[in-house]
Amino acid sequence: MKFGKGMFGSKSTGGSTAGSAQGQRSTLVVNVLLGLLLIYLVLCLFVGWYWNREPGIMPLVSASPAQTEMVEGEMTVETVEALMVTLLNKPGGYLTNDIMPPGVWLDNMPHWEFGVLVQIRDITRAMRRDMARSQSQSAEDPDLARAEPLFHFDNKSWIMPATESEYSDGLEALNRYAVRLRAGEADFYARADNLGSWLGDVSTRLGSMSQRLSASVGQAPVTDGSRPREQTPWLEIDDVFYESRGSAWALVHLLRAVEIDFADIIAKKNAQASLQQIIRELEATQEPLWSPMVLNGGGFGMLANHSLVMANYLSRANAALIDLRRLMEQG
Would you say residue 86 lies in a domain? yes
CA 298 to chain centre: 27
Query: How far apart (Å, rounded) are the C-alpha atoms in residues 234 and 230?
Result: 12
Q: What is the pLDDT of residues 19-56, one digit of tens each?
A: 677 878 888 888 888 888 888 888 877 887 888 889 99
Would you say residue 301 lies in a domain? yes
Model confidence at 130, pLDDT cuts 50, 70, 90, reads: very high
Residue 185 amino acid letter: E
Would you say residue 7 lies in a domain? no
Model confidence at 226, pLDDT cuts 50, 70, 90, reads: low
Query: How far apart (Å, rounded) are the C-alpha atoms in residues 319 and 23?
Result: 72
Would you say residue 114 lies in a domain? yes
How many domains does the chain divide into?
A: 1
pLDDT of residue 3: 45
Q: Is the pTM of this model over 0.75?
A: yes
Q: What is the pLDDT of residues 150-170, one digit of tens each?
A: 999 988 888 889 999 999 999
Would you say residue 124 lies in a domain? yes
Would you say residue 206 lies in a domain? yes
The answer to which of 148-152, 193-197, 232-236, 303-307 has the lowest mean pLDDT is: 232-236
Nearest one of 142, 151, 164 to 122, comparing CA atoms = 151
Half-sphere exposure of 159 (CA within 13 A, CB side): 1
Rounded to 5 degrees, φ, ψ at 292 are: -70, -10
CA 206 to chain centre: 15
The answer to which of 115-119, 136-140, 182-186, 204-208 has the lowest mean pLDDT is: 136-140
Nearest one of 172, 179, 199 to 88, comparing CA atoms = 172
**Parent domain of 78:** 52-329
Would you say residue 19 lies in a domain? no
Would you say residue 8 lies in a domain? no
